Homo-oligomer: A and B are copies of this chain.
């Protein structure tokens, strides 16, 4: 380290210049919107409620834009796997910014992108996850698991968004 390669010494010099110019003040920092817990929980409950009305016992998860869980709820009689399936769908939609059903269709059409399934331990490419956005800004994702079909899970997620976040 001490007798570093010239490139490393150059990098150090550049870093010094760079950091000198970066001193940061709170007012200068960019800001991102986030969902308060009350909204996240309302989304999860609205999805459960809709699925219950349809006759399905499910789990619903809401994650923030970083993919970290805000609310995770499992209905009575929903199987234990639905906790993780709903959370992974929410993570996937939050991180990729697309409905999970769309990604599932993509892999069906283009088998060379099947590797999308293996990108991260929390990725789940199966209908039931939707991204959350308000005014074009990313807020995270919602995922539902436990209905007998990804389209049925997605309908509950969609209903929750319509009810809580309003029209897009």
Interchain CB contact under 8 A, A117 and B119:
no
A111, closest chain B residue (CB): B108
* Given A1-B56, A71-B73; A26-B118 close (CB under 8 Å): no
- A38 is contacted by which of B22, B95, B100 (Cβ under 8 Å)? B22
Complex contacts, A126 vs chain B, CB 8 Å: 113, 115-116, 118-119
Query: Closest approach, in angstroms, between the C-beta of A156 and any C-beta of chain B?
Result: 12
Contact with B along A32-68 (1 / 0, CB 8 A): 1111111101110110110010011100000010111
* Given A85-B119, A164-B23; A42-B15 close (CB under 8 Å): yes
Contact with B along A65-109 (1 / 0, CB 8 A): 011111111111101111111001001101111001100110110
**Identical subunits present:** 8
* Given A104-B113, A134-B25; A69-B74 close (CB under 8 Å): yes
- A1 is contacted by which of B27, B55, B92 (Cβ under 8 Å)? B55
Interchain CB contact under 8 A, A36 and B7:
yes
Contact with B along A8-22 (1 / 0, CB 8 A): 101110111111111
26 contacts between A and B (CB under 8 A): A1-B56, A7-B36, A7-B42, A10-B18, A12-B49, A16-B46, A19-B45, A26-B136, A26-B137, A29-B139, A30-B76, A37-B73, A64-B66, A67-B81, A69-B83, A77-B138, A81-B92, A84-B119, A101-B112, A104-B112, A104-B113, A107-B111, A115-B125, A115-B126, A115-B150, A119-B124
Report which A residues bind B (CB closer than 8 A): 1-2, 4-5, 7-8, 10-12, 14-27, 29-39, 41-43, 45-46, 48-49, 52, 55-57, 64, 66-77, 79-85, 88, 91-92, 94-97, 100-101, 104-105, 107-108, 111-127, 134-139, 145, 150, 160, 163-166
